[in-house]
Amino acid sequence: MPPPPKPKPPLKMFIALNSIRNTTFAVEDDFFYYEVVTRFWNPNITKIIQHDFEVRELTLRAEIEGLHSPAPRVRFGGEKGEWVPASQFVKFDPDSQGGTFATASGIEFTWKLVKRRWQLVRADDPEQKVIDFRPYKRHGLVFRMSQHAYLEVKPESEVTDAFDRIIASYLLVERKRRAARPTDKIKLLSTRAIYATVWNK
């Protein structure tokens, strides 16, 4: 009887920058390549664009409106998509900084913090980890980056087919985590004051 096939090695999806408004998520051969971009002329909209280098095609997969606002919204599928509150897309855990969301096929996943690092697990099986966040490393802790942060991804279609929603949900939970830090609370309060001024005009 032949031995069972070896499991596929995990994908490494590298995150180019520490920014959640402008960065890229890409594997080494760029087969999966997603750009997160916030244009300076439209700073309230953060777009998630998939690059297909084989056919030289760009596809808008998702948009987040007001990523740093008190009540961001999200939509998928370009202009034909429907804007929904971020809190409707990601069911944030009131007792932690994670949250649960559903893919287009209806599979639910949960982001959770384990030793201050993000993990994505099946909502119906918290022990089944599908993504593990690996933080960036620096030379001597304070010098230039020696290794980019990356997501260690289980190479299954239920995960890779849902990268648009996975990335969008990651940006939302990471934004919430950063806002909870003391240095970022001041920034968040300033942002809320700006939005309040605009809305009250």
- Mean pLDDT per segment of 10 residues, for the chain of length 201 residues? 79 96 97 98 98 96 96 95 97 90 97 95 94 81 70 97 98 94 58 47 41
The CA distance from 29 to 25, in Å, is 12
Give the pLDDT of residue 139: 57
Give the gyration radius of the chain's Cα atoms: 18
Per the rule left: phi > 0, alpha: psi between -120 and 50, beta: everything else, 183 is alpha
Looking at residue 195, what is its pLDDT? 46
Q: pTM for the complete prediction? A: 0.85
92: Cβ contacts below 8 Å, ≥ 6 apart: 98, 99, 173, 176
Assess contact for 111 and 139: CB atoms under 8 A: no
In this prediction, residue 197 carries a pLDDT of 45
